[in-house]
Amino acid sequence: MPAEIPADSVGLVIPQTVTFSAPLELECGRDLPGYTLTYETYGTLNTQRSNAILLCHALSGDHHAAGYHGMDDRKPGWWEHLLGPGKAMDTERFFFICANFIGSCKGSTGPASINPETGTPWGLDFPMVTVRDWVRTQAELADHLGIAQWAAVVGGSLGGMQVMQWTMDYPERLRHAVVIAAASKLTAQNIAFNEVCRQAIMTDPDFHGGRYYAHATKPRRGLSLARMIGHITYLSDNAMRTKFGRDTRGGKAFSFGFDVDFEVESYLRYQGSSFVEHFDANSYLYITKALDYFDPANAFGGNLAEAFASTQAAFLVISFSSDWRFSPERSREIVQALYTCNRDVSYAEIEAEHGHDSFLMPIPQYVAVLRAYLGRVAEEVGA
């Protein structure tokens, strides 16, 4: 709870919604009969409408990228460190939009929403959605807001995948693409982690085939376990060692039982159980599938450079040294493909110890790179 809102915060923000009533034809072949997007905006759109930046969120993220919803909020938005007046993503120069993607559970249409045909929650009847579908809905939002071209589209992790998809599907609608801690496709190991998470959810006795809403319950253990696994992979070995080491809870002696002994156990249990309170298990299933399916090079015989051949944007690619879930090697593949097809691309490999989560943190070199790049973008678009 902020006693008062810090001066470099965007302050209190109010989420907005827009509903598109026309059916959306999805990549999976099915139609979604209309959908709602929940989004937030920060900063002011200039009269030329040239200073808009789209932010794309990651797996457990949402439209609340910065600021507070109320004075009793425990935490600000997920990119608060980087987004605000005078920050690397400067709300005094740009107009930022962040929309919750469909399939999520944070306000946009997803498996917990009501299926208009049945009048009950969709559950696993919700059609499979992909990164490409998300980008399409974001383009509809841009039309709705009268933004013909983004100054930049920026995203980390799964958000970075959306940025790449934007450059391929709407090459003329963005000038710059900022792809952070991302990959052009998941590795087998990465898909494996996602599958373990999904199995944890789906084998929970309270899952009820995804219809747990009707049973007034939810697969708490499964979702909590999924989050714990995810959390381990988002941190580095070193970061966990530094943060917890082998410390026991409250410095107590071993219990010689199966209750919490170590701090790291306590931390993971807390992360798991608090996640369950604000995230829908079905959404977790859908979003991890979208991650697994993403592979734009697949349509080009695995040649990523060909997938990027139609793009027009200039790129900034950023990776973090200790990120083993989306390792620097994956980012280098993206850079290499962009080099091969003659795109302007800059690449920064940030020394950071926080693993994949580094993209959320105000690491000085990361901040400096983003600030330098977006400063150029601002000059270019007259922001």
Contacts with other proteins by CB under 8 A lie at: 314, 316, 332, 335-336, 339-340, 342, 344-349, 351, 365, 368-369, 372-373, 375-376
Taking the least distance from each CB to other proteins, the nearer of 249 and 376 is 376
Taking the least distance from each CB to other proteins, the nearer of 192 and 372 is 372
At its nearest, how many Å lie between other proteins and the CB of residue 303?
A: 12
Cβ neighbours around 3 below 10 Å, total: 5
At its nearest, how many Å lie between other proteins and the CB of residue 342?
A: 7
At its nearest, how many Å lie between other proteins and the CB of residue 305?
A: 9
CA distance 317 to 179: 5
CA distance 230 to 105: 18
CA distance 126 to 211: 11
> Which token pair is 60?
């457990």
Angle at 15 between CA 12 and CA 19, to 5 degrees: 165
CA distance 131 to 59: 11
Task: For residue 311, give the 3-state DSSP assignment.
Answer: coil
> Residue 332 belongs to what H/E stretch?
helix 328-340
CA distance 144 to 98: 14
Taking the least distance from each CB to other proteins, the nearer of 243 and 371 is 371
At its nearest, how many Å lie between other proteins and the CB of residue 301?
A: 17
110-147 CB burial, b ≥16 within 10 A, e <16: bbbbeeeeeeebbbeebbbbbbbbbbbbbbbbbeebeb
Angle at 321 between CA 315 and CA 325, to 5 degrees: 85
Taking the least distance from each CB to other proteins, the nearer of 88 and 164 is 88
Active site amino acids: 157, 323, 356
At its nearest, how many Å lie between other proteins and the CB of residue 268?
A: 33
> Which token pair is 258?
């199966």
Taking the least distance from each CB to other proteins, the nearer of 154 and 348 is 348
